[in-house]
Amino acid sequence: MTVAIPMTSWIEISEERLAANFRAIAQAAGRETVVLAVVKANAYGHGIELCSPALARAGAPWLGVTGASEGARARHALAEAGIAPKDQPRILVMCGFLPQNVEAIAEHALTPVVWTPQQVGWLQGSGTAVHVEIDTGMARQGVHPGAELEDLLAEIDAAELPLDGLLTHFCAAEAAHSELTQTQQRRFESAIAQVRRQGLAPKWVHAGSSSSVDNPAQSSPWLVDLANSVGARAMVRCGIALYGYCSPITGADAASVPSKLRPALRPVMTWKTRVLSLRDLAAGETVGYNATFTAPAPMRLAMLPVGYADGLRRELSGSDARPGGWVIIPSRDGSGPQAETQPAKAEPQAASKAPIVGRVSMNLTMVDITAIPGVRVGDEVVVLGDGITADDHARLAQTIPYEILCAVRVG
Active site residue 40: yes
Asked if residue 174 and residue 51 are part of one domain, the reply reads yes
In a domain, residue 369? The reply is yes
As a whole number of Å, the end-to-end CA separation of the chain is 16
The rounded distance, in Å, linking the Cα atoms of 320 and 185 is 50
The rounded distance, in Å, linking the Cα atoms of 232 and 165 is 8
Q: Is 263 exposed, middle or buried (0-12, 13-18, 19+ CB in 10 A)?
A: exposed
Asked if residue 278 and residue 205 are part of one domain, the reply reads no
Number of H helices, E strands in the chain: 12, 19
pLDDT at residue number 216: 80
Asked if residue 347 and residue 323 are part of one domain, the reply reads yes
Q: What is the DSSP letter of 88?
A: S
The number of folded domains in the chain is: 2
The rounded distance, in Å, linking the Cα atoms of 261 and 174 is 12
Instruction: Find the CATH number of the domain harbouring 321.
Output: 2.40.37.10
Among 264, 298, 321, where does a domain finish?
264
In a domain, residue 353? The reply is yes
Active site residue 243: no
Asked if residue 117 and residue 155 are part of one domain, the reply reads yes
Asked if residue 299 and residue 245 are part of one domain, the reply reads no
In a domain, residue 411? The reply is no
Q: What is the DSSP letter of 388?
A: B
Which residue among the candidates 44, 243, 272, 289 is catalytic per the annotation?
Answer: 289
Closest CA to 58 of 68, 67, 50, 46: 50
Closest CA to 40 of 169, 202, 127: 169
pLDDT at residue number 335: 46
In a domain, residue 228? The reply is yes
Enclosing domain of residue 317: 272-406
Asked if residue 310 and residue 245 are part of one domain, the reply reads no
Asked if residue 216 and residue 75 are part of one domain, the reply reads yes
Among 246, 264, 282, where does a domain finish?
264
Among 216, 235, 264, where does a domain finish?
264
In a domain, residue 297? The reply is yes
Q: What is the DSSP letter of 32?
A: T
Phi, psi (degrees; rounded to nearest 5) at 256: -95, 5
Asked if residue 356 and residue 231 are part of one domain, the reply reads no
Closest CA to 186 of 150, 222, 156: 222
Asked if residue 221 and residue 293 are part of one domain, the reply reads no
Asked if residue 145 and residue 219 are part of one domain, the reply reads yes
Instruction: Find the CATH number of the domain harbouring 195.
Output: 3.20.20.10
Asked if residue 124 and residue 17 are part of one domain, the reply reads yes
Tens digit of pLDDT at every position of the chain (411 positions): 554 445 589 999 999 999 999 999 999 999 999 999 999 999 999 999 999 999 999 999 999 999 999 999 999 999 999 999 999 999 999 999 999 999 999 999 999 999 999 999 999 999 999 999 999 999 999 999 999 999 999 999 999 999 999 999 999 999 998 999 999 999 999 999 999 999 999 999 999 999 999 998 776 689 999 999 999 999 999 999 999 999 999 988 888 888 999 999 999 999 999 999 999 999 999 999 999 999 999 999 999 999 999 999 999 999 999 999 999 998 886 544 444 544 445 565 678 999 999 999 999 999 999 999 999 999 999 999 999 999 999 999 999 999 999 999 876
The rounded distance, in Å, linking the Cα atoms of 341 and 193 is 73
Q: Is 341 helix (H, G, I), strand (E, B) or coil?
A: coil
Q: Is 282 exposed, middle or buried (0-12, 13-18, 19+ CB in 10 A)?
A: exposed
Give the residue ranges of DSSP H helices in 146-274.
147-158, 179-197, 210-214, 222-228
Query: pTM for the whole thing?
Result: 0.93
Asked if residue 162 and residue 309 are part of one domain, the reply reads no
